[in-house]
Every structure is written in C-alpha cells, then in structure tokens.
Structure 1
C-alpha cells in the first residue's frame, strides 16, 4: 500500500474510545491515525501524555495520522518514511482481519518504528500489516515523540517522554483492541533499530509489567548513555536556535526548527553517536537497561537478533569476514552485542530467549545491511522502495519462512530452534546465509562479540 489513505469501503467499529470508521479492502480492515493521547502541543508539549477522551463524533480513520518526524535525518533512507504534518502525532494504526474471521480473537503485534529516536515514520508502507492479517494477527503501529521533544534530559521535564507515550499506547491497546478482534491477553511488542531498543527498554522497565506478553527486538541496542553527552548537545542546539536549553527555550521553537537544527549539527560533526535516547534514573527506567533486563520481563518470551552487517555492509567478502571475526564493528558493538547482553541478562528467566541473525546480502547494498530484513519479516516484498534496497528479485521463499517464524512467535508458539542462555556457543537461527539453507540452526553466531563483552563466558 503506497497511499497515505486506506483503500476500500468504509467499515465501522464501536470501541471504548468511540466510534471509529476505517476502510475494508477484501479481508483486510485498516483503521489509521487513531489518537490515543491528546496532541502534545502548547502546555502539553514536554509533558507526560494525556489519554485521549472518548470521541464525541465518529472518528475518520481512513488516513495515516501526523508524524513526529518533520525533517528526515537523511536525504535518502532505506525505508520509505513519509513525514505528515499535524499536531496529533500520538496515534495508532490498526490493520486487522475481517470481523467475520472465525480465528478471532486474534493475537496482537504492536510495532514500534525505528529512526534513531530522532526520526522514522509509522506510516511507512514497509509496516503495512496485511500479511499478518492474512495469518490471523492484528498489527498495530504506534507513533511516539522523537528527539528533543521525546528524549531530551531537560531539568524541568520528566525524562523518557517517548517511552511514556509508548506505555500509554499499550494501555490504549489493552482497553480497545478487543473491538477490532484482538486479544488483549496476547500482545507482542516488536520494533526495529530504535524501535527494537525501545522494546528492550520497556522489557527492562517495571512499568512494562502486564502491558505486553511477548517481545521481539530487531536490530535493537542496549543504550548506556549518560545525560552529560545529551546536555552538551542541547547546549549547542540552544546556541544555534538562540534560546536557552530549557523547556521554555525549546518550547519557543517549532518541532521543525528543532529537528532541522539537530540535522545541521549532525552534518557538522563526524560523531554520530546517539544521545537523545532512553536514559536511566526515573520511574520508567530506574536503573540502566542492561541491569533492568536482569530483573524485569523474565515472564516474557523474547525473540531478538540483528542483520549480519548492519551499518558495515559493502566492505567486500574478505574484509567483512575478518572484521566480523574481530567483533569490533559498529554492527557488533551497537547491535549484535545487545543480543549477547540480553541473553546473558535473562539467563535465569523462566521464559525463553531466542536469537536470530539475518545474513542474506542485498546486491544493492553489498551485504546484510541495516533494515533489509524488514520486508522479509513483514512479507511485503512488493512494497514501494523494496526493489531499490533489495534488488529486483529478493527471495520470496525467505520472506515466507521468516514471516511464518515471526507470526508463530506472536501466536504463542515456541520457536523451532534451541533457546539462548547467554554463553559462548549460544544457538541461533541464521536466515539467508549464502551457501546454506534458507534457515540454518547453528551455534556461535554471536561468539566474537560475546568474547569481547564476557571474557569468562565459557565458564558462566
């Protein structure tokens, strides 16, 4: 689906939030841009989200809602990420099977988009949940505040507003998803990149308890960022904007102005390390995410992994093999390390942890690059922008297999491969490795980075 409008004929749902009118196309129902919170503008900007009141009139959910992203981080992104103007950026989009589908109530997948916590769009056609509805799953996409508005550690602002948005969205799902055929007792949170990092943050938070029942992190990171680096960025940002780095100062500038200033500052410095990210020290994240994972979320089954090359693709086979063996690439230190770290933190968990590694090399990007696994997991190889990123003939059978694995996990099935236990030689499923089967269950995929992080891992 390329248009911002949902195709098809009107279809109505009566939910606790009110009457919502979406569109039905065949066996797929779409309800887009539904506000779960009041618009974060005026006095509500830089404040915790406020639940949206019941709609006094039928709500037209035929079009994607406004996006928190106003200025894309890059001129060209792998994923199509439309920016949509408007104040109501705290919305959910729901793609659900037909109301007369006898498989209901359906398990629910709540998807959190990526973009470095600075950008990204829940309206991307790569996130359309039509393949999930085909397989009896309700797919929910969530918009949340980004950058300064969502994650700036300002002295007079509660931290982690973006995570607070996501928690409120999960509350909305609990209260309303049954009206769309979803089962509030079978909610899986999932995300990629920043979205995957948000999943790990919510999993490590005491506030996540009871709001979801399974978790999937694709190319997520476990951030351990102090507020010092973020405050230094805010000082420079305020200087560029001509305002003090405070709630009042930044509140006097538009979201577009602030996001453009962030983009300009990033273009002037080679250091691209993320600093406006979830940070510890409040009620949402009382301790560092890595520490929170050791005590919270142990009743939640977790599936997580990364692509083979993330941000290090295109180096050539020999150079890539040598770098991977060393475990020192950005791919390893930022993304793949999160897999080993999470498995180790959950060693005593009652619920299982399963690892995967996506190894299919895009002929366009020269490796198993960041984001290229998404069209396979969503089974949307025909979506706009896929051929540009993956070439004209990505393997459809790989998409069928990966989507089936993800859908099975959301349904409550245990993955077919062995659990990870946070030690060297942990099992994982490799997808699309050249010269191997489409899915190969193997061990030691994450060993190079695990050795660097846990030198005594053999004896753990």
Structure 2
C-alpha cells in the first residue's frame, strides 16, 4: 500500500522550529552539540527533540514509571502518564542498570523511568504524512541492553520515511530472575508496554500504528519471537524481523535453580525482599560471576552450561506457555510477514576477541556434539580436516549453529508451516576486525541493517572500510519491508528454501548448507 494512500489520524500537531546558534554546524548524538531543536505538543505534553540531517531525534521519552523504586520493584510496568512542562529529549540517556562490557565488571545504567527513543523526519512532523514504524528491541543476552547505542541510530531509516523507535527494558535480576510473588519475564512485559505506548502515541510523531514492524537482534530477536507467540502482544505490531534469534529459555525449575545460585553467591534470600536489599553493583557482578561458574560446571548444569548467559526468558504459563519456539509455531498470527536470519559465524564474536578460539581442545568439541545428540553423523560434518579449519573454528561453527543459526532456520520453517510469508537470509560478509579473524560474527550485521557503518561503535566490528554497497542493500531491504511487508528476494518455502546471502556481492541461493540443516532437523529448540 502506498504511503500517500494511508490515512493519518485526525489529531494534528502544532510544531515550532526553534533555531539556536552554536559554533558547530551539525548535531552529533555522542557530543551533545546542537544546531537546532524541534518542539511540539503531543497528547502527553510538550516535547523538544534535536535535529540532524532533517531528522528529529527524541531521546529518553518515558513509557513506564521507574520500576526500581521500592513500591514498583519486581512488578509489571506501570504506564507513564502526562509529563509536566517541556520534556527535553535532546540528549541520549542511560539504559537500565546492567554490567558493563569491560574486563572488570562495572555497573552501568541508571535507576530511572523506562524510556524509548524516536527518530522522525522533519517533513512528517510538519505535515499530514503518516509513515510506517519500526520498533527495535536491542539485544544483550538478557543481562544487557541499550536503546541508545550508536549502531541503533535511526536517522537513515527516517530519511527513508520511516519512524524508528528503540526501546529500553529491564534485564538481568530485575528483568528476568524468577522470584515467587513477582511476574516472570518482566523485561518482556516492559516491551509489551512500550508497544502499547506506540499504538497510543506514535501518530503524534507521524507514525502509523497500523503498520508497525517489530525488529530486534540476538536477545532482542528472541523477544520478537516470544511476542509473536503470545496473545498478550496480539495486535500491537503487524510485521516482524528477527536477526540472530537464540530461542533459549528456562523452565520454572531451572529458573528457580538460577535464583538460588545467585542468592547464595550474594549471601541473601532468594526472594523479592532479599534481592531488593542487594546494591545494584553487587547484583551485576554476581550475574557475571554466576554465569561464568555455570559455563565451567557442565556436570552440575548440563546443557545450561553451553548457553552463555545466566538469565533467560522463563516458561511461566502466561507469556511463555510451552517454549518460545513451540508458542511461536502454534500461536503466531499467520497474517504477519517475517524476515528471519543469522550471520554465518555468529559465535566468533565470543571466541575471537580473547583468543579462546585458539585454545579449544578436540575433547571439548566432541563433548559438545555428544551433548547435542544430533541426527546423522555430526563428527563428519563438523570435521576440521575436511573443512580445512582449526578445531576452534569448527567449535565456533557448532556454537553458531546451536545458538543462533539453526534457531533462525527453525523459526522460518515453523512459520512457513503456520502460513506466514517468510523471507530467510544469511549474512556472509567477513569482517576484517581482529586481524581478519572476526569474520561474519554475531552483531556484525546490525550496523549494515541500520546503515550506521561510520559510527565509532561499528568500526570496532566492521573495520575502517566496510562495503557501503552492502549496507545500502540490506538497509533498503529492511526499509522496503517496513513500508510494504515484502523483501526483494523470493519467499522461503520448504522445497526451494530461497535464502538471501548478504555479502559484497549479495545473491539468492537455495537451501544453503543442506547437510548442516539435516543434522539439526530433529533438534528441539
């Protein structure tokens, strides 16, 4: 459907362009320099955003009250009402409390309201245009997230006449720890609340609440899958994109074990009251410590030791009834079109930077394959000599397939069986970062889909001369999907299995890596 033929809601805005004079001639989100701001009145109150390249960015708009206060701790999100005065949304805010990514675990984030960021073209705010909306759920293994990261900057999408929303939500103990008397999956509940906010308010920013694409990467992509499979989010979005969805989860019994292990490390009770007494700095340190201990103790934790994160969505009978994959397969609205895929070498992000990939032993690789109990002959398929790879390289291939690549493929298969239109992709461009060893790793694709290759954050993953033409194509494919609900390659089916291979020379291929696919055909995610 043409954007021009879409009808905007009857609510019209009074907008005022406030120009200020600064020494610099452009706005940069990471420095806070502004050359102008944009103020307008919404149903929630007056708001002021920052203009860059004819796009207005509104940072830190509250959608739920501070859930870290004593009265709201570990509860479902409470929707935010009107704010007083003019909301200054011109500067990027902090995410929720979480562990930093440095070698020394530090507390980052802040205990404030839950917020979203919005990017909208000036022309849409100054006219009766109504544009498609893309709502982004950032990843971070369910222990981290940051809607304000540089690679998630929505300017390029907005230039293509798309409204972009990025969402901060609770993670770690506050978002996903199982606690008696508290709702499980509080981070998912936050995402649902943010989507409700979009439905009620995005028209004020030129967006069409009836054409919302929910998209995310890693834990954000699994969140999209969970929201597809739960009736609690029914009608809150109409399209979906999942980039590298892991699809791991905990049963209630497993979640209770994790809670007790963390509480033991913190020397507190495994209860809401016990956790509320622990300072956030200690909480985030214990998250990393417990996660590392779990990965190093297979005898105690079994398959959970291969997962890589201590907190995961929980089968609670409310948001997740059977499992994220089974709920998606059985409950997804078949009218929702979907893009889903992964990078070719996902796990190298975790194995290359610290040179772990060079220390993997053949015994560890074989132990992992034994635990997976795959069909066929995995030792032949994942053979270092046959593939002319090191043991570490092959181990990375197995971890990539287990954690992200095969879950994405199974999502595609299940949704095709459900009657959804599905477009499948593999991201194959090999990053030259880390001496050329990073490859097509996890997260490398995100800067291409957002067209944010020039950000400082992206350069550490893609190097200094990444192929702009690849970003142009992948970004335009996502934009086309947001506008029209289709991608520029063939729909996936269970016969041809058409797959877009994103690379310097992108092309459609049919049933890539069939031998690997068959190995995982009976595996239950």
Q: Report if TM-score (shorter chain) is over 0.5.
A: yes
How far did 1:448 drift? Answer: 3.9
Distance change in 2, residues 1:186/1:427 (3 Å): same
Other-structure match for 1:358: 427
Residue 54, structure 1, aligned to residue 82, structure 2: yes
Following the alignment from structure 2 to structure 1, what is the Cα–Cα distance between the partners of residues 417 and 347?
32
- How big is each residue's C-alpha offset from its partner over 1:394-446, in whole Å with a ceiling of 9 and x where there is no partner? 1111111110111101112421222223x3651110011xxxx6211001125
Following the alignment from structure 1 to structure 2, what is the Cα–Cα distance between the partners of residues 267 and 346?
34
Of 228, 236, 253, which aligns to 2:253?
228
Following the alignment from structure 2 to structure 1, what is the Cα–Cα distance between the partners of residues 215 and 132?
13
Of 387, 403, 414, which aligns to 2:459?
387
Following the alignment from structure 1 to structure 2, what is the Cα–Cα distance between the partners of residues 85 and 224?
27
Of 28, 52, 71, which aligns to 2:99?
71
Residue 163, structure 1, aligned to residue 188, structure 2: yes
Alignment of 1:266-285 (within 5 A): 266-268=291-293, 269-270=295-296, 271=305, 273=307, 274-285=309-320
Following the alignment from structure 1 to structure 2, what is the Cα–Cα distance between the partners of residues 49 and 412?
32
Alignment of 1:27-426 (within 5 A): 27-40=54-67, 41-75=69-103, 83-88=108-113, 90-100=114-124, 104-268=129-293, 269-270=295-296, 271=305, 273=307, 274-294=309-329, 295-312=331-348, 318-319=387-388, 329-365=398-434, 366=437, 367-421=439-493, 423=494, 425-426=496-497
Using structure 1 for the length normalisation, give the TM-score.
0.90
How far did 1:322 drift? Answer: 9.7
Contact 2:291 2:310 in 1 (8 A): no
How far did 1:323 drift? Answer: 9.3
Q: What SS class does the counterpart of residue 456 from structure 2 fall into?
A: coil
Contact 1:398 1:431 in 2 (8 A): yes
Other-structure match for 1:14: 41
Other-structure match for 2:510: 443
Using structure 2 for the length normalisation, give the TM-score.
0.79
How far did 1:204 drift? Answer: 1.0
Distance change in 2, residues 1:224/1:15 (3 Å): same
Following the alignment from structure 1 to structure 2, what is the Cα–Cα distance between the partners of residues 128 and 171?
22
Following the alignment from structure 1 to structure 2, what is the Cα–Cα distance between the partners of residues 325 and 254?
41
CA RMSD of aligned residues (A): 2.7
Following the alignment from structure 2 to structure 1, what is the Cα–Cα distance between the partners of residues 59 and 419?
37
Contact 1:160 1:284 in 2 (8 A): yes
Following the alignment from structure 1 to structure 2, what is the Cα–Cα distance between the partners of residues 426 and 145?
37
Contact 2:347 2:396 in 1 (8 A): no
How far did 1:223 drift? Answer: 2.2
Q: Structure 1 regions of 5+ residues with no counterpart?
A: none
Following the alignment from structure 1 to structure 2, what is the Cα–Cα distance between the partners of residues 282 and 20?
39
